[in-house]
Amino acid sequence: MNKVTIHSLFSDFDINLFKAGKHYRLYEKFGSHIITLDGVRGTYFSVWAPSAKTVSVIGDFNYWVDGEHLLHVRWDESGIWEGFIPDVGKGNIYKYKIQSNNNDVITEKADPYARRCEHPPKTASVVWEDSYDWKDNQWMKNRKKHNAIDAPFSVYEVHLGSWKRKIEEDRSLSYVELADELVSYVKKMNFTHVELMPIMEYPYDPSWGYQLTGYFAPTSRFGYPEEFKLLVDKLHQNDIGILLDWVPSHFPEDSHGLGFFDGSCLYEHPDKRKGFHPDWKSLIFNYERNEVKSFLISNAIFWLDQFHADGLRVDAVASMLFLDYSREDGEWEPNQYGGRENLAAIDFMKELNKEIYISYPDVQTIAEESTSFPMVSKPTFLGGLGFGMKWMMGWMHDTLLYFSKEPVHRKHHQNDLTFSMTYAFTENFMLPLSHDEVVYGKRSIINRMPGDEWQQFANLRLLYGYMFTHPGSNLLFMGAEFGQREEWNFQSSLDWHLLQYDYHSGIQKLITDLNSLYRKQPALYEKQFEADGFEWISYDDHENSVVAYLRKGNNKKDNLVIASNFTPVPRKNYRIGLPAQGELISLFNSDEKTYGGTGDFICENIIIKDEKWHYRDYSAEITIPPLGIVVYRIEGR
């Protein structure tokens, strides 16, 4: 006897939207929802399985017996199975047992819309609801000014499992502990935002969370969903935004996941040329299927809606854009126009961004995209993909390559450093030094720097100064802010003990002050994505390996002068051309003793002289420390 009552949360309108790929709040309908029906408390279940012959809910409430609780298929050919099971509630564990139409395939699947999952390696879903009382009203009311593209945007990228660990207990910090320790640390460091590597449930720790199985559930590794909300809430209460890494590009083949869900290729593309990633041995979403588009867009909206996220950093966009991504000739099929672009994925991304910015105009989407595909961060109404920002992978590659060279050779490679300015304003670029740059033998950032210990740290200070004063927003992976020597290891804590040493604590102090400089100086953020916010003073002094430039805000009184010396030879009495008379007010010097510098090259305020230089009417002589960067503000008379 079936113990499931026929009941539905779907209206005909919901079904029509779902079939059309236009339902962007599916989490309100699918999954498990605790309700009261005819005076009986229980749980409504619904799942999409169009190729199923039968769907049973199995769990700890029926001893995992198949057939005890059979769901009912809807009459409208939507492929939705649903029903109400009395006396099932919060904390009950379940899966869907699905028999396919051909009788040959039986799958046991976690709920794609589950709000909570068992702690890995367990794989079942958990019936869950929470009534978290948010206290971030002030942030949510005013966050547009924090998340705008003309606002400071300095991001601290974090892997929650390895940021800091309880050594004596050999465990990661919980969401509750992170709400105290991580929040206070980020606030002290003056970062404006935190970006979390994927916190959606994932089965395999070495994937770092980039192969998901629980798209609607914060990982149970660190606590309950409402405890993750507490972490977000505490960040907001301290005026810190939160970005979440989000992975709509692929998913793992784990038997309890989305793959071959109902005995058919339901979520993945059935053609292996479009549905399987050769690099990651994972499955690719079928962007041509309307219901899959609705699933993904609903998932993106879910984290903005239910968890107050301030934005999504979308992973592996390049792999979605191109049909030949990581494929040899003959392993991919051109699109209908003979090109290599994945037209369905492009349409999906445009639709995703359009819906996000309509519903949440005060957030940002950020594309991790490594190619020259045009208009990634341009609005969809102009033909762009509609992202708010795009990672500047070219800047990252060229800059790290340049800094890895011995200073004596840098004069031959200055173009590597300055080339980014030829395309810096084609997109809204974020400059990333991310987790991908400190793994798999690439070495830590500090260990890429040449020279002895002093030169390594001076180079690192110079790199960060150049990064923070270059046009664009920026992102720094945890550990880099104090010069961690070892490559990142997801299984162990950052090397916090290094802060007892002056060079490492000096780098931490430098990042704190650079964040403060960035936040306080409008010239560094008001036009960070606009060409008229930057102007070269000198980029061709190869022999001395010196570059100098202006950063400009909306008001001329905020204009900054930045000069960098990429050799260990101090540049004294170095003349630079300037646009106006007045005085150079010293704001920052990476060679200060508090940062681990020599402290020998003090930057004082300098009177600008009526002497032509660099094709300008005025100039001043400055001192640029060895492997150093200095920042001045022009104060007019």
Q: Which residues contact residue 540 at a Cβ distance below 8 angstroms, ignoring those fewer than 6 apart? A: 414
CA distance 396 to 387: 20
Residue 3 — pLDDT band, cuts 50, 70, 90?
confident
Domains of the chain, each with CATH number or no CATH: 12-126 (2.60.40.10), 151-397+425-452+476-524 (3.20.20.80)
CA distance 528 to 472: 5
pLDDT at position 1 over 70: no
Q: Is 66 a catalytic residue?
A: no
pLDDT at position 542 over 60: yes
pLDDT at position 489 over 80: yes
Task: For residue 232, list its beta bridge partners.
Answer: none
Q: What is the DSSP secondary-structure string of 14-54? A: HHHHHHHT----GGGTSEEEEEEETTEEEEEEEEE-TTEEE
The structure tokens listed for 253 are 């083949």
**What pLDDT does 389 receive?**
98
Tell me the average pLDDT across 18-38.
97
- In whole numbers, what is the pLDDT of the chain averaged over residues? 96
pLDDT above 90 as % of the chain? 95
CB 235 within 8 A of CB 156: no
**What pLDDT does 103 receive?**
72
Q: Is 329 a catalytic residue?
A: no
pLDDT at position 136 over 80: yes
pLDDT, one tens digit per residue, over 237-253 is 999 999 999 999 999 99
pLDDT, one tens digit per residue, over 290-314 is 999 999 999 999 999 999 999 999 9
CA distance 255 to 479: 35
Taking the model in full, what pTM does it have?
0.96
Q: Which residues contact residue 556 at a Cβ distance below 8 angstroms, ignoring those fewer than 6 apart? A: 580, 636
From the candidates 227, 262, 291, 368, which is the catalytic residue?
368
From the candidates 157, 201, 245, 315, which is the catalytic residue?
315
Instruction: Report which of 244, 266, 265, 138 is spatially closest to residue 197, judged by C-alpha positions.
Output: 244
Task: For residue 33, list its beta bridge partners.
Answer: 44
Please report where in the chains the tokens 């993909």 appear, as a residue: 385
Higher pLDDT, residue 54 or 330: 54
Residue 503 has φ and ψ, to the nearest 5°, of -60, -40
Element (H, E) at 351: helix 343-359
**What pLDDT does 604 receive?**
86
**What pLDDT does 104 receive?**
81
CB 631 within 8 A of CB 562: yes
pLDDT at position 131 over 90: no
CB 479 within 8 A of CB 511: no
pLDDT at position 637 over 70: no
Residue 476 — pLDDT band, cuts 50, 70, 90?
very high
pLDDT above 70 as % of the chain? 100
Residue 2 — pLDDT band, cuts 50, 70, 90?
confident
